């Protein structure tokens, strides 16, 4: 079989490329764990920190928010949602650098 006509050589190159991408993806995922975004609600009455692995790291609540339990509950949910959205957006941006903008389900 002539060179460049397919066959096992091409499969080997594909496998090497896939392994390289897998290592780069693991590196990005590890880096995302150390990157933190902030979600806020109620004009900053509730602030949360979420890392790029979409792990909730901290919640800060202003004292004035403690007066109304139902409001506080809603603010916490809203702040966490914003933090998680920002973390997911950050992770998607980083992964798209690796995938050349292709949306590959299951990467994040």
For 60-71, give the DSSP string.
Answer: EE-GGGGG-HHH
Query: Is 89 contained in some domain?
Result: yes
Per-residue pLDDT tens over the stretch 8-54: 678 888 888 888 888 988 999 899 999 999 999 999 999 999 999 99
- pLDDT bin (cut points 50, 70, 90) of residue 66 is very high
Is 40 within the bounds of a domain?
Answer: yes
Q: How many domains does the chain contain in total?
A: 1
**Residue 1, in any domain of the structure:** no
pLDDT tens for each residue of 77-101: 999 999 999 999 999 888 888 777 6
pLDDT at res. 22? 87
Instruction: Check pLDDT > 80 for residue 4.
Output: no
Report the CATH number at residue 77.
3.30.1310.10
Q: In whole angstroms, what is the distance from residue 66 CA to residue 59 CA?
A: 13
Task: Give the residue numbers spanning the domain of 55.
Answer: 8-99
Determine, yes or no, domain membership for 104. Answer: no
**Is 31 part of a structural domain of the chain?**
yes
Cα dihedral sign, 25-30-31-36: positive
């Amino acid at each position: 079989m002539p060179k460049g006509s397919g066959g096992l050589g091409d499969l080997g190159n594909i496998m090497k490329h896939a392994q390289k991408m897998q290592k780069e993806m693991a590196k990005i995922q590890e880096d995302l764990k150390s990157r933190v975004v902030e979600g806020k609600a109620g004009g900053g009455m509730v602030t949360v920190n979420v890392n790029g692995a979409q792990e909730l790291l901290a919640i800060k609540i202003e004292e004035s928010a403690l007066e109304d339990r139902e409001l506080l509950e809603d603010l916490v949910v809203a702040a966490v949602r914003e933090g998680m959205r920002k973390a997911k957006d950050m992770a998607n941006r980083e992964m798209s650098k690796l995938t050349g903008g292709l949306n590959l389900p299951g990467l994040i």
